């Protein structure tokens, strides 16, 4: 590529090499090239549509831009640092290809409204991809839940055994989180899909442009109403990084559970060889690297959110070069969320095996049925607080005697309270303990089956 001077004739000489390096964004904003080309093609068409350039000129521009696209896809267009950024790189290559006509492309446009447009085109595309990934993740959870309605797992509060659960119910909690993530991204999509192009550098343009026309070519739902806001707003990116942070929070919580579950101490799951790694020194080890990496990667997404907030807070209107720093945060945020979703989906789909007999044993050998004894008495007229205290006492004496509640004889139960009958044994059996929690949203098998049906409908109805 021939060396050309970037700036107007006001400038003499060239940039100091260190400053050129410092100033350039081409090293990372090349990621926007497809969107930049698409935006430029629409802009060229609009210029012809409004008579600002001729139709023949627009055709030349569009063909030239498509050639740049082809060259890029074939690996033949690799602009270097001397091009500063993707916008200059494309415009220069275009002018090399089509000649002087290329110099008309930037009529009625600034890099400020151009880059804002590129990022919105990029992000709306990525949001759609991430929403699709969330749907796949939800489907995998749902499949796993369907197979495990009657698989029991200890439920915890404070990481202390609390009450047993249907494993499906536990998994479906993550379905709900992912559902909110999906909805949130849909809302953010709406605010992202607004066109800034036509804002000019900051104040609009003297040319009779048709912004609605450009918006319709690019499938934007609307146009930015204020030119200053159009070029300098990055709220949509901050909202995206906030939603991305919540997605990884959810994945990280699930990761933490899988890490615990795969430990010797819990022993609730086994990781398959395809999704686990070993140690270079300890031959017995199988490590949960996937959930650990997901948990670890959350930090950088939060970091990008924080970085963007700090980036914006002191910026006077309108465009400031600080805004060039938005890109790496957005790109890495997108890449990280996508990678985490993909890895967790694979892990859940084929990398994890629940040790159902271990789980059944776990829920049978603890005091997580204590609430059910209290509920048993309360249902028979004993005030709950009284029943609660009584059962607390039984737990204490049983612990001391190395017994479980199911080991008490009917006589012992009756000594505690005359309301106890033979059916107490059924009431405290783990399956029954779970089955009985049939309040809406609870873990009772009937409710869980209903929840699965609702989840299925939801995936069918909301595409
Ligand atoms: N590379 C720049 C960015 O990413 C493009 C916009 C430059 N605008 C300007 N007035 N210098 O923000």
- pLDDT beyond 60 at 3: no
pLDDT at residue number 4: 54
Using DSSP bridges, classify how beta strands 194-195 and 222-223 pair: parallel, antiparallel or unpaired: parallel
Query: How many percent of the chain have pLDDT more than 70?
Result: 99
Residues 246, 253: Cα–Cα separation, whole Å: 11
pLDDT at residue number 458: 97
Closest CA to 387 of 368, 364, 413: 413
Ligand 1 centroid distance, CA of 324 (Å): 6
Average pLDDT of the chain, as a whole number: 96
Residues 4, 24: Cα–Cα separation, whole Å: 15
Ligand 1 centroid distance, CA of 228 (Å): 15
Using DSSP bridges, classify how beta strands 269-271 and 352-354 pair: parallel, antiparallel or unpaired: antiparallel
Q: Is 97 exposed, middle or buried (0-12, 13-18, 19+ CB in 10 A)?
A: middle
- pLDDT beyond 90 at 53: yes
How many C-beta neighbours within 10 Å does residue 159 have?
7
pLDDT at residue number 463: 84
- Which of 115, 116, 201, 202 for mutating ligand 1's site (highest number of atoms within 8 Å of CB)? 115
Residues 334, 129: Cα–Cα separation, whole Å: 10
pLDDT at residue number 277: 83
Ligand 1 site residues (CB inside 6 A) read 25, 29, 85, 87, 111-112, 115, 319, 321, 323-324
pLDDT at residue number 282: 83
pLDDT at residue number 5: 65
Ligand 1 centroid distance, CA of 349 (Å): 43
- Which of 29, 30, 85, 317 for mutating ligand 1's site (highest number of atoms within 8 Å of CB)? 85
- Alpha helix segments (H runs only) across 274-423: 289-313, 326-346, 356-364, 370-379, 384-401, 410-416
Handedness of CA 389, 391, 394, 400 (dihedral sign): negative
Ligand 1 centroid distance, CA of 115 (Å): 7
250 is catalytic: no
Ligand 1 centroid distance, CA of 81 (Å): 14
- pLDDT beyond 90 at 158: yes
CA nearest ligand 1 atom 12, residue: 324
Q: Band of the pLDDT at 10, cuts 50, 70, 90?
A: confident
pLDDT at residue number 2: 41
101-157 pLDDT tens trace: 999 999 999 999 999 999 999 999 999 999 999 999 999 999 999 999 999 999 999
Is domain 112-362 classified as CATH 1.20.1250.20?
no
198-232 pLDDT tens trace: 999 999 999 999 999 999 999 999 999 999 999 99
| Residue 268 in tokens | 């609730």
Ligand 1 centroid distance, CA of 85 (Å): 8
Within the chain, which residue ranges are assigned CATH 1.10.40.30? 364-461
Residues 215, 45: Cα–Cα separation, whole Å: 11
Residues 126, 332: Cα–Cα separation, whole Å: 12
Residues 207, 191: Cα–Cα separation, whole Å: 27
Q: How far is CA 287 from CA 153, 258, 280, 343, 350, in A?
A: 22, 11, 11, 15, 16
- pLDDT beyond 50 at 187: yes
pLDDT at residue number 304: 98
DSSP lists the bridge partners of residue 64 as: none
- pLDDT beyond 70 at 1: no
- How much helix, strand and coil, in percent to the nearest 5, is found in the chain? 65, 5, 30
- pLDDT beyond 80 at 6: no
User: Phi-psi category of 263—alpha, beta or left, where left has phi over 0 and alpha has psi -120 to 50?
Assistant: beta
Q: Which atom of ligand 1 is nearest to the CA of 84?
A: 1
158 is catalytic: yes
Residue 225 DSSP SS3? coil
Within the chain, which residue ranges are assigned CATH 1.10.275.10? 17-107
Residues 461, 318: Cα–Cα separation, whole Å: 42
- Which of 6, 32, 90, 112 for mutating ligand 1's site (highest number of atoms within 8 Å of CB)? 112
User: Which overall architecture, per CATH, does domain 364-461 show?
Assistant: Orthogonal Bundle (1.10)
Using DSSP bridges, classify how beta strands 152-157 and 160-166 pair: parallel, antiparallel or unpaired: antiparallel
Using DSSP bridges, classify how beta strands 269-271 and 194-195 pair: parallel, antiparallel or unpaired: unpaired
Q: What is the CA radius of gyration of the chain?
A: 31
Within the chain, which residue ranges are assigned CATH 1.20.200.10? 112-362
- Calculate helix-pair angle for 111-147, 326-346, nearest 10 degrees: 20
Task: Tell me which of 8, 158, 280, 357 is the catalytic residue.
Answer: 158
Using DSSP bridges, classify how beta strands 160-166 and 269-271 pair: parallel, antiparallel or unpaired: unpaired
Is residue 329 a contact partner of residue 301, using CB atoms and an 8 Å limit? no
> What CATH number was assigned to the domain covering residues 17-107?
1.10.275.10
Is residue 25 a contact partner of residue 86, using CB atoms and an 8 Å limit? yes
Ligand 1 centroid distance, CA of 188 (Å): 24
Is residue 437 a contact partner of residue 445, using CB atoms and an 8 Å limit? no
Query: How many percent of the chain have pLDDT more than 90?
Result: 94
Q: Please name the helix (run of DSSP H) or strand (run of DSSP E) that holds residue 236, with its range, or none.
A: helix 235-261
Q: Which atom of ligand 1 is nearest to the CA of 29?
A: 4
362-416 pLDDT tens trace: 999 999 999 999 999 999 999 999 999 999 999 999 999 999 999 999 999 999 9
Task: Tell me which of 14, 54, 216, 279 is the catalytic residue.
Answer: 279
Total-model pTM: 0.96
Q: Band of the pLDDT at 11, cuts 50, 70, 90?
A: confident
- Which of 321, 325, 328, 331 for mutating ligand 1's site (highest number of atoms within 8 Å of CB)? 321
Cis link prior to 318 (omega < 30° from 0)?
yes
Q: Please name the helix (run of DSSP H) or strand (run of DSSP E) that holds residue 36, with its range, or none.
A: helix 33-49
278-332 pLDDT tens trace: 888 788 888 999 999 999 999 999 999 999 999 999 999 999 999 999 999 999 9
| Residue 291 in tokens | 């959930």
Q: DSSP letter at 315?
A: P
Residues 224, 196: Cα–Cα separation, whole Å: 5
Residues 409, 211: Cα–Cα separation, whole Å: 82
């Amino acid at each position: 590529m021939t060396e050309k001077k970037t700036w107007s004739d006001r400038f003499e000489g060239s940039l100091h090499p260190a400053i050129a390096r410092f100033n350039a964004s081409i090293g990372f904003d090349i990621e926007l090239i497809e969107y930049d080309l698409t935006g430029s093609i629409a802009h060229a068409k609009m210029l012809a549509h409004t008579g600002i350039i001729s139709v023949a000129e627009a055709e030349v521009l569009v063909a030239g831009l498509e050639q740049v696209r082809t060259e890029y896809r074939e690996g033949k267009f690799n602009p270097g640092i001397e091009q500063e950024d993707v916008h200059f790189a494309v415009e220069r290559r275009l002018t090399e290809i089509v000649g002087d006509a290329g110099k008309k492309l930037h009529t009625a446009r600034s890099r400020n409204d151009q880059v804002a447009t590129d990022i919105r085109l990029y992000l709306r595309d990525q949001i759609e991809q991430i929403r699709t990934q969330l749907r796949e993740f939800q489907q995998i959870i749902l499949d796993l839940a369907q197979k495990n309605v009657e698989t029991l797992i200890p439920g915890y509060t404070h990481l202390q055994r609390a009450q047993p659960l249907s494993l499906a119910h536990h998994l479906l909690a993550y379905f709900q989180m992912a559902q909110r993530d999906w909805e949130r991204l849909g809302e953010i999509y709406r605010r992202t899909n607004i066109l800034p192009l036509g804002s000019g550098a900051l104040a609009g343009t003297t040319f009779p442009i048709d912004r609605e026309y450009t918006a319709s070519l690019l499938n934007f739902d609307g146009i930015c109403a204020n030119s200053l806001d159009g070029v300098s707003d990055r709220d949509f990116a901050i909202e995206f990084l906030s939603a991305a942070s919540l997605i990884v929070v959810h994945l990280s919580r699930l990761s933490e559970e899988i890490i615990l579950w795969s430990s010797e101490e819990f022993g609730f799951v086994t990781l398959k060889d395809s999704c686990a790694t070993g140690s270079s020194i300890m031959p017995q080890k199988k490590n949960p690297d996937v959930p650990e990496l997901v948990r670890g990667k959350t930090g950088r997404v939060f970091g990008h959110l924080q970085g963007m907030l700090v980036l914006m807070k002191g910026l006077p209107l309108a465009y400031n070069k600080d805004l060039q720093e938005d890109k790496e945060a957005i790109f890495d945020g997108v890449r990280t969320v996508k990678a985490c979703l993909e890895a967790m989906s694979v892990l859940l789909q084929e990398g994890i095996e629940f040790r159902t007999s271990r789980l059944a044993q776990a829920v049978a050998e603890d005091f997580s049925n204590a609430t059910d004894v209290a509920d048993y008495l309360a249902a028979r007229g004993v005030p709950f607080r009284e029943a609660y205290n009584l059962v607390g006492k039984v737990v204490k004496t049983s612990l001391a005697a190395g017994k479980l509640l199911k080991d008490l004889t009917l006589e012992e139960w009756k000594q505690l309270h005359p309301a106890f009958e033979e059916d107490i044994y059924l009431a405290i059996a783990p399956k029954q303990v779970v089955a009985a929690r049939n309040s809406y949203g609870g873990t009772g098998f009937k409710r869980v089956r209903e929840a699965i049906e609702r989840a299925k409908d939801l995936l069918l109805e909301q595409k």
